[in-house]
Amino acid sequence: MLASAEGYSPSILCSYLFTLGQVFNNFYQNVRVLDAGEEEREILLLLLKAVMTTMRVGLDRLGINTVEKM
CB–CB of 14/1 below 8 Å?
A: no
Query: End-to-end CA distance of the chain, in Å?
Result: 26
Q: pTM of the full predicted structure?
A: 0.80
Helices (H) and strands (E) in the chain, counts: 3, 0
Instruction: Grade residue 68 by pLDDT with cuts at 50, 70 and 90.
Output: confident
Q: What is the pLDDT of residue 6?
A: 64
Instruction: Grade residue 1 by pLDDT with cuts at 50, 70 and 90.
Output: low
Tell me the average pLDDT of the chain.
90
DSSP annotation of 21: H
Rounded Cα gap, residues 18 and 44, in angstroms: 21
Closest CA to 12 of 62, 65, 66, 63: 62
Structural domain boundaries in the chain: 2-61
pLDDT by residue (tens digit) across 26-52? 999 999 998 999 999 999 999 999 999
